[in-house]
Structure 1
Amino acid sequence: MGMIWDSVKEITGNVLHLRTKFVTNKRLDGQVVVITGANSGIGRETALQLSLLGAKVIMGCRDPKRAGSAVDYIKANNKNAVLSVIQLDLSSLESVRDFAKKVSQKETNIDILINNAGIAGTPESQTKEGFEMQFGTNHLGHFLLTLLLLPLLKGAPKARVVSVSSGLYKVGKIHFDNINLRDGAYAPMKAYNQSKLANVLFTRELAKRLGPNSTISAYCLHPGAIKTDIVKTDKLYERFLANIVSSLLFLTPHMGAQTSLYCALEDSIENETGFYYENCKKVDLKPIAMDDKTAAKLWELSTELVNLEEHLNLPHVKQQAWEQVQL
């Protein structure tokens, strides 16, 4: 019932235009921002808004054609936008590594990393390396990318890692006994919810392992129910129905980007890390997302699955140190 009530409140807020719009006078001139999935939806809108503040925006996009259209859109709304596009397919760990290498060749530091890209509701399929598509794309791809880019994030005076999750983490579960949901265990939303819970657990564990003295802060968020093309289906009637419903009840990408912008820019949360945000404010997590043993187990499993180089891994931190981070 709790999840249903949360959904009713959210949709009501959307329809009645009760969502918070983030406003800032901050300038990002000279700062470097990396955004995944910046070719459409809230990723594109986030890229536009950060470019208007003067940031140099690196757009990680899977489809070069759609990326070109996104650049045209941003340039039409901000002729002074400083943009670069680097191909990135988060369902391919090889592509993730290639993207990180190219960014490292271009930049000496990153000020903000926004792990925005995501897929939902896909038919059962696998990533290039054979992982369940939603878990592999939404979690493993961003897990590897973040750790590959940590040296550049550490190069900035203060850096932020912002990961777009979903309120559906609340009904998620990490299926350690069958992480790829094979042998008939797959269901589209079951896989999506697992991946979104993984985003939250990753954020908390990243903050924990970076420690209280880190110059990098980590945030995760629920952007709201947004009209985007995240739902991938080849059935015309499903797409038609999704478009009708989303037009009536869901947020525009502009409003959906507000909490991402809040987590990336808000001064008052500069020293917070490992927390979760909705509608431009910090909210308490459900117990399922605060299980530190599960978070640590997921981290270790993820390092194995992506074959993470030992020097890029972050050591496990004892509970007392984690409590210091969360103060």
Structure 2
Amino acid sequence: MAVQDQDLQGRTIVVTGASSGIGAVGAARLAARGATVAVVGRDPERTARVAEEIGAAHFLADFGRLDDVRKLADQLLGRFPQIDVLVNNAGGSWPDRAVTVDGNERTFQVNHLGGFLLTGLLLDRLRQAPRARVINTSSLTYRTAKLNLDTVNAPSGSFSMLGAYAATKLANIVFTRELVRRTGLVSAAFHPGAVATNVYDNIPFGIGAFIRSPLARPFFIRPAQGAEPLVHLAATRDVEAIDGKYFHRFKEESPSVKQAVDPVFAAQLWELSEQLTGVSYQR
């Protein structure tokens, strides 16, 4: 990486979804560059192990429960007087529709609403830090998505695992762009590549285990490679080069889906997200 990406001394970085995969690798690499890292995960043992290995603090939160996200925000604000980077990396994919305890469709809540809520609750602390930014893990699957705001959070109806996941990855890009417009905070979204991680665990027939096996290596990259753009976006000093943009790994990509760049749609998604999470972003 370039010299401008290396010095993270004195900077605090929160990484969600950091108990495994690209989040764990990214947290370790950011800590190795001198950052104070908050490791956030859902699994107690794995999250604690990752944090212990890199000498970081760890925090537990299940993004399927918005009260967990609110508690997490309180803990982070109480622990860190400065927060420079928030990496919204928590996410998942499930074969069946399920409704969370908050009444939201699970994929939509975990992959979009949880990060939207956490960002809003940490917004003032982020605004106080120089070169602060929010990095959102998206996916190239957004290219196939159509995000219907009337059905994306419905408790019943037809359901497609890939369709639901792609819709939330499109929401990540829309959120990134609208966050910049509404708050002035630097933000970027990225596709890490086809990475063999636990995100595939819920695919039926043991496909997740196959994807992480040596047999799948010609088709999937390892988490060490997938974490590279996450680390770069969190560490770069050239914030103007990333602000409001979506990257296919390191290459900037103009979103190919109309909804991703539609300001009216962005405002509608934002309003729905505020209603469902109860957080209000102050301009």
Q: Which residue of 2 aligns with 1:97?
A: 70
Is 1:313 paired with 2:278? no
Amino acid at match of 1:295: A
1:38 aligns with 2:18: yes
Please give the per-residue CA displacement for 1:117-170, whole angstroms capped at 9, x wherever unaligned. 110244221222121111010000000000100111012122010000001111
Percent of pairs with identical residues: 34
Q: Which residue of 2 aligns with 1:279?
A: 249
**Match of 2:39, as an amino acid?**
M
Aligned residue in 2 for 1:325: none
Q: Distance in 2 between matches of 1:91 and 1:120?
A: 12
**Paired position in structure 1 for 2:238:** 268
Determine the C-alpha separation between the residues in 1 that align with 2:6 and 2:75.
28
Residue of structure 2 equivalent to 1:228: 197
Q: Tell me the CA shift for residue 235 of structure 1.
A: 4.3
Task: Indicate which of 31, 50, 71 corresponds to 1:70.
Answer: 50
Distance 1:31 1:266 in 2: 12
Shift of 1:43: 0.1
SS in 2 for 1:85: strand
Residues in 2 aligned to 1:237 and 1:166: alpha-carbon distance in whole angstroms: 22
**Which of 297, 300, 305 is matched with 2:268 structurally?**
297
**Closer, same or farther: CA 149–298 of 1 in aligned 2, 3 Å:** same
Letter of the 2:271 partner, please give it: E
> Does the 8 Å CA contact 2:8/2:235 hold for their aligned counterparts?
no
Is 1:135 the counterpart of 2:108? The answer is yes
2:13–2:85: 8 Å Cα contact kept in structure 1? yes
> Structure 1 residues 71, 183: closer, same or farther in 2, change over 3 A?
closer
C-alpha displacement of 1:241: 3.7
* SS of equivalent to 1:177: coil
Contact residue 115 and residue 162 of structure 1 kept, 8 A: yes
Partner of residue 228, structure 2? 258
Who is 1:3 aligned against? Answer: none
Q: Does the residue aligned with 2:86 lie in a helix, a strand or coil?
A: strand
Q: How does 1:1-327 map to 2 (within 5 A)?
A: 22-24=1-3, 26-72=6-52, 74-75=53-54, 81=55, 83-211=56-184, 216-233=185-202, 235-244=204-213, 246-270=216-240, 272-286=242-256, 287-308=258-279, 312-315=280-283
SS in 2 for 1:249: coil
TM-score normalised to the size of structure 2? 0.93
CA distance in 2, matches of 1:43, 1:284: 25
Give 1 or 2 for the bigger CA radius of gyration: 1
Distance 1:42 1:127 in 2: 25
Structure 2: 5+ residue stretches without partners: none
Moved >6 Å (runs of 4+): none
CA RMSD of aligned residues (A): 1.8
CA 231–181 in structure 1, closer or farther in 2 if over 3 Å, else same: farther
Per-residue Cα deviation, 1:173-227 (whole angstroms, up to 9, x for no partner)? 221121224433211111101111100000000000013xxxx310001111001
Report the secondary structure of 1:248's partner residue: coil
Change (3 A) 1:301 1:224: same
| Structure 1 unaligned regions, length at least 5 | 1-21, 76-80, 316-327
Contact kept in structure 1, 2:12 and 2:83, CA below 8 Å: yes
Amino acid of the structure 2 residue aligned with 1:27: D
**Distance of aligned partners of 1:205 and 1:314 in 2 relative to their CA distance in 1, 3 Å threshold:** farther
Query: How many residues are treated as equivalent by the alignment?
Result: 280
| Structure 1 Cα separation of the partners of residues 7 and 95 of structure 2 | 39
Contact 2:99–2:155 (CA under 8 A) maintained in structure 1? no
Q: Work out whether residues 218 and 273 of structure 1, in 8 Å CA contact, stay in contact via their aligned partners in 2.
A: yes
Counterpart position of 1:6: none
Which secondary structure does the structure 1 equivalent of 2:212 belong to?
helix
Q: After TM superposition, give the deviation of residue 271 of structure 1 in Å.
A: 5.9
Structure 1-normalised TM-score? 0.81
Query: Following the alignment from structure 1 to structure 2, what is the Cα–Cα distance between the partners of residues 202 and 234?
Result: 26
